[in-house]
Chain A
Amino acid sequence: EVQLVESGGVVVQPGGSLRLSCAASGFTFDDYTMHWVRQVPGRGLEWVSLISWEGTGTSYADSVKGRFTISRDNRDNSLYLQMNSLRHDDTAFYYCAKGHVDAGMVLDQWGQGTLVTVSS
């Protein structure tokens, strides 16, 4: 059974930094593109970032480019999101998601999310 478990969400001050983690199990982690998606409570979904299976290809939403960095450790089956220069509008649930085997840009498994609150 595929499991994705996010952690690291806390309350952080504007301008602060945070690193989110996602522990993956139940599939061959280094075969798949992985993503981060966020959702303001009660609002819609916003794609944040992706990383290729080997970790050399990354892409970011314009809203986080230059502030967030996605990475992965295929030895530990872990995905990360380093978040710097945090702003109030970064407050959201952050989900890690696995790319589909036939289409890496389709998100076929999701974690339960971790809440990041940016507040003074």
Chain B
Amino acid sequence: EVQLVETGGGLIQPGGSLRLSCAVSGFTVSNNYMIWVRQAPGKGLEGVSVIYTGGGTNYADSVKGRFTISRDASKNTLYLQMNSLRVEDTAVYYCANPRTVMGAFDLWGQGTMVTVSS
């Protein structure tokens, strides 16, 4: 079955670090375009980070220098390392993939909640 399962969310204090995981089933993470998208409570969607097929990465200005996207082929898993967390990083974090389409994302995980609070 083709699916994405996010884990790793939780409650963390401002300034802390957290690593999110997105376990991939049904296809290979290492040669696929993947994105992390977040949604703050009651707010809209925001693209956070992408990793391209070739391994290049890109980040939203709001997380540049603090977040790092990576993937592990042996575990078939996508990661988002989040450092120097801020209250405004509180959100549900989704991973997604353009499984059968171009320029959009038709495969999403269920999301994992990250709460940054003291």
Are these two chains actual partners, yes or no?
no
Q: Chain A interface (Cβ within 8 Å of chain B)?
A: none
